[in-house]
Chain A
Amino acid sequence: GQQLNQSPQSMFIQEGEDVSMNCTSSSIFNTWLWYKQDPGEGPVLLIALYKAGELTSNGRLTAQFGITRKDSFLNISASIPSDVGIYFCAGQRLYNNNDMRFGAGTRLTVKP
Chain B
Amino acid sequence: NAGVMQNPRHLVRRRGQEARLRCSPVKGHSHVYWYRQLPEEGLKFMVYLQKENIIDESGMPKERFSAEFPKEGPSILRIQQVVRGDSAAYFCASSPDRAPSNTGELFFGEGSRLTVL
A residues adjacent to B (C-beta < 8 A): 4, 6, 31, 33, 40-45, 48, 50, 88, 90, 92, 95-98, 100-105
Give chain B's interface residue range (CB within 8 Å of chain A). 20 to 34
Q: Contact between B41 and A104 (Cβ–Cβ < 8 Å)?
A: yes
Determine if B56 is an interface residue (Cβ-Cβ < 8 Å).
Answer: yes
Docked-complex contact A45 and B48, CB < 8 angstroms:
no
Hey, which bits of chain B sit against chain A, CB under 8 A? 4, 31, 33, 35, 40-45, 48, 55-56, 91, 93, 95, 100-106, 108-111
The answer to whether B111 touches A42, judged by C-beta atoms less than 8 angstroms apart, is yes
Most buried by B among A6, A90, A98, A103: A98
Determine if A88 and B110 form an interchain contact, defined as CB atoms under 8 angstroms apart: no
B109 and A42 within 8 A (CB): yes
Residue in contact with B103 in the complex, picked from A4, A88, A97, A105, CB distance below 8 Å: A97
Q: How far is the CB of B11 from chain A (nearest CB, A)?
A: 15
A44 to B93, CA, bound (A): 10
B6 (CB) vs chain A CBs: closest residue: A42
Query: Known interface pairs A40-B110, A98-B33. Does A33 touch B42 (Cβ–Cβ under 8 Å)?
Result: no
B56: contacting residue among A45, A48, A92, A98, CB under 8 A: A98
Q: Are A101 and B111 in contact (CB under 8 A)?
A: no
In the docked arrangement, what's the CA distance between A40 and B113, Å?
9
Query: Are B43 and A102 in contact, CB atoms less than 8 angstroms apart?
Result: yes
Q: How far is the CA of A95 from the CA of B91 in the complex (A)?
A: 21
Q: What is the CA–CA distance of A26 and B40 in the complex, to the nearest angstrom?
A: 22
Could you say which residues of chain B place their CB within 8 Å of the CB of A31? Answer: 103-104
Residues of B within 8 Å of A97, CB to CB, are 31, 33, 48, 93, 95, 102-106
